[in-house]
Amino acid sequence: MKITKICCIGAGYVGGPTMAVIAQKCPHIQVTVVDLNEERIAAWNDKDLNNIPIYEPGLDAIVSEARDRNLFFSTEVDKAIDEAQIIFISVNTPTKTYGKGKGMAADLKFIELCARQIARVAKDNKIVVEKSTLPVRTAEAIKSILDNTGNGVQFQILSNPEFLAEGTAVQDLLNPDRILIGGDTTFEGQKAIQSLVDVYSNWVNADKILTTNVWSSELSKLTANAFLAQRISSINAMSELCEKTGADINEVAKAIGMDSRIGSKFLKASVGFGGSCFQKDILNLVYIAKSYGLNEVADYWEQVIIMNDHQKRRFSSKIVQTLYNTVSDKKITFLGWAFKKDTNDTRESAAIYVANDLINEHAKIAVYDPKVSSKKVLDDLNYLETRSIENNANSITSHLDPYEACQNAHAIAILTEWDEFKLYDWQKIYDSMQKPAFIFDGRNVLNGIELTEIGFIYKGIGS
Q: Binding site for substrate: which residues? A: 162-166, 221-225, 261, 268-274, 339-340, 443
Q: How many residues bind ligand NAI (CB under 6 A)?
A: 27
Indicate whether 277 belongs to the interface with ligand NAI (CB under 6 A): yes
Q: Select from 43-51, 159-167, 370-378, 407-415 the region that touches ligand NAI (CB under 6 A).
A: 159-167
Q: Select from 13-21, 178-186, 227-235, 266-274 the region that touches ligand NAI (CB under 6 A).
A: 13-21
Q: Helices 59-66 & 15-25, crossing angle to 10 degrees?
A: 50
Minimum distance of ligand NAI from residue 166's CB (angstroms) = 4
Cα separation, 115 vs 139, in Å, equals: 10
Minimum distance of ligand NAI from residue 132's CB (angstroms) = 3
Q: 8, 26, 114, 277: which one is catalytic?
A: 277
CA distances from 419 to 99, 274, 414 (A): 42, 18, 11
Q: Pick the closer one to ligand NAI by CB: 137 or 435.
A: 137
Indicate whether 37 belongs to the interface with ligand NAI (CB under 6 A): yes
Indicate whether 132 belongs to the interface with ligand NAI (CB under 6 A): yes
Total residues found in the chain within this entry: 463
Indicate whether 92 belongs to the interface with ligand NAI (CB under 6 A): yes
Minimum distance of ligand NAI from residue 93's CB (angstroms) = 4
Q: Which of 56, 166, 172, 184 binds ligand NAI (CB under 6 A)?
A: 166
Residue ranges of the binding site for NAD(+): 10-15, 35, 40, 91-95, 132-133, 166, 277-280, 347
Q: Pick the closer one to ligand NAI by CB: 162 or 184.
A: 162
The residue at minimum Cβ distance from ligand NAI is 12
Q: Pick the closer one to ligand NAI by CB: 112 or 248.
A: 112
Is residue 183 classed as helix, strand or coil in its secondary structure? strand
Cα separation, 403 vs 132, in Å, equals: 40
- Give the long-range contacts of residues 91-95, CB within 8 A, separation 24 or more: 91/9, 91/10, 91/12, 91/15, 91/132, 92/10, 92/12, 92/132, 92/276, 93/132, 93/133, 93/134, 93/280, 94/276, 94/280, 95/279, 95/280, 95/283, 95/284
162 within 8 A of 8, measured Cβ to Cβ: no
Number of H helices, E strands in the chain: 18, 14
Q: Which of 93, 236, 284, 311 binds ligand NAI (CB under 6 A)?
A: 93
Pattern 354-383, ligand NAI, x by CB under 6 A? ------------------------------
Indicate whether 308 belongs to the interface with ligand NAI (CB under 6 A): no
Contacts of 383 (CB under 8 A, 6+ apart): 352
Minimum distance of ligand NAI from residue 125's CB (angstroms) = 21
Q: Which of 25, 40, 312, 410 binds ligand NAI (CB under 6 A)?
A: 40
Minimum distance of ligand NAI from residue 16's CB (angstroms) = 7
Cα separation, 231 vs 18, in Å, equals: 26
| Phi (first) and psi of residue 80, to 5 degrees | -65, -40
Indicate whether 113 belongs to the interface with ligand NAI (CB under 6 A): yes
Q: Which of 6, 7, 8, 10 binds ligand NAI (CB under 6 A)?
A: 10
Q: Pick the closer one to ligand NAI by CB: 90 or 344.
A: 90
Minimum distance of ligand NAI from residue 256's CB (angstroms) = 27
For residue 273, which of 57, 442, 463 has the smallest C-alpha distance? 442
Q: Note if 277 is an active site residue.
A: yes
- Sign of the alpha-carbon torsion through 17, 73, 86, 275: positive
Q: Pick the closer one to ligand NAI by CB: 20 or 252.
A: 20
Q: Pick the closer one to ligand NAI by CB: 357 or 380.
A: 380
Ranges within 220-249 binding ligand NAI (CB under 6 A): none
For residue 279, which of 107, 160, 103, 92 has the smallest C-alpha distance? 103
Q: Pick the closer one to ligand NAI by CB: 239 or 276.
A: 276
Minimum distance of ligand NAI from residue 222's CB (angstroms) = 10
Q: Pick the closer one to ligand NAI by CB: 37 or 432.
A: 37
**Sheet with 71-74, edge to edge strand ranges:** 71-74, 30-34, 5-9, 86-89, 126-130, 155-159, 179-183, 209-213
Indicate whether 133 belongs to the interface with ligand NAI (CB under 6 A): yes
Q: Helices 214-245 & 295-322, crossing angle to 10 degrees?
A: 40
CA count, 13 A, side-chain hemisphere, 408: 7
Question: Which residue blocks in 131-264 are alpha helix, DSSP H?
Answer: 138-149, 169-174, 187-200, 214-245, 249-257
Cα separation, 408 vs 285, in Å, equals: 45
> How many CB atoms are located within 10 Å of the residue 109 CB?
12
Contacts of 234 (CB under 8 A, 6+ apart): none
Cα separation, 315 vs 460, in Å, equals: 10
Indicate whether 77 belongs to the interface with ligand NAI (CB under 6 A): yes
**Residues found near ligand NAI in the complex (CB under 6 A):** 9-15, 34-37, 40, 77, 90-93, 110, 113-114, 132-133, 162, 164, 166, 276-277
List, by residue number, the catalytic residues. 277
